[in-house]
Chains A and B, each alone.
Chain A
């Protein structure tokens, strides 16, 4: 985990706190502006709760005009802005800046329009992910990306992180399900990106903004695509007596031409942790459990389930159970969705990793994690978006035991570096934030990082938006120790090539 970076590039603020508050109070109602420490405590961290900082000021604008006004003021007085959605992010992207304004979008939570014929919804950034699907349900429609935190996380945060979910192999990530954005620039200018058609004019800035972690602008309006809700979904739960065999089964399913609606794997430590919590009926003697879901018309699901079950059995599944009804399907899924809190019940603290790897390297990576687990003497159950190669090792530790948190962080850093070594990435869906800022230096070389800074400069020349997050300075990478060369680039030389 990276320590929050000082923002040397910034000039000292041109106004003191009192002056800033006075100016913000002129554009925000009193209930939308906090500057007393006790009022700002709820904003001192996001889902990465190990790091806490009280911001200088919290601003909670109610509309786009107020967002633009706050941006203009901060730009004039050179005060950093940290955008924040629901605060559920896991990488510290909304970690406050002690000298900056935390700009929360939680009051902007209206669904502005829902067009059931064109199948689109225009919403404000503070709308919860699940609320979109709830509003669309009466038209038989839904919003597909479903991060596990979907009951709480906001769509604005989803755009900032390019969130995924358990169905993204078939239905795509946030970036694949957006049509248009309104963006307020650091100068307070309002830009429209994308449109109501499928393609946008000029450069594809939608893709650039999605996943940019609040470093390029503040999204104030989002038009999402809605999909017809599948008529039916069923899930097969398959047990395996080795992780390798389960990994092969995943590859065999894809190679058989099947794109499951969801394809998840849990190892024995993970199923053991969740079973005592949700009683989903997972076989506890299995080394790995796979959940493989099919959705569509009844005919599609019947054909696909038969095909999936055959492949799973041929791949050596020791047990295959098909959900009888929707209640049982949700029960099978409940364990997977509750994996994080279940692990949290077994240990005071856990640290959730998010690397993505080519699926064929799974066996080797899991072995590597097991070896690291012994080396650092910390347990690490694994849950895995198997279909798209996104691993979530959960490193268990107790922050009250001296040294454990440091060991957990070092263990996590080594897992991410292992992911990069096998041709993967340090983050599949949680974002870099402050958490993985050092590992960015492993994944990218100097020229790539300079390119990121050039893009940032085109949007935010002074560097006021979410400074110190997502993209490391070259100086930080130099201090982290030329890791790109020693553990990144050279490690690729033994990658098998087609």
Chain B
């Protein structure tokens, strides 16, 4: 004889992530991707204007340097940094580096990732400030 049972479906309140600091930070980490994607789309728009020519680019720059957009960029910058910290911060645990019998200490892998971040940022900064 077969019997059917009702499946247990846990109820989830839409505000569960506000109930603990860790849940909140988890949601902020997830949300960071939305700001990063929005920045990327604006960046593509800016490149599109650049391809259109000098006047189109100037108009685009005028638009993107208005206070509203600057506030957006500032918020996106904070979220992007939070993404960097959370993403690279777990690098040692995510990526175990082994060389023969030797395992590189996870903390060193994480530290290496952050060194890489500062190095890449410095190179990009150097290009913007001194090469162009």
The answer to whether A and B come from one shared complex is: no
Which residues of B pack against A, CB within 8 Å? none
Chain A residues engaging chain B, CB cutoff 8 angstroms = none
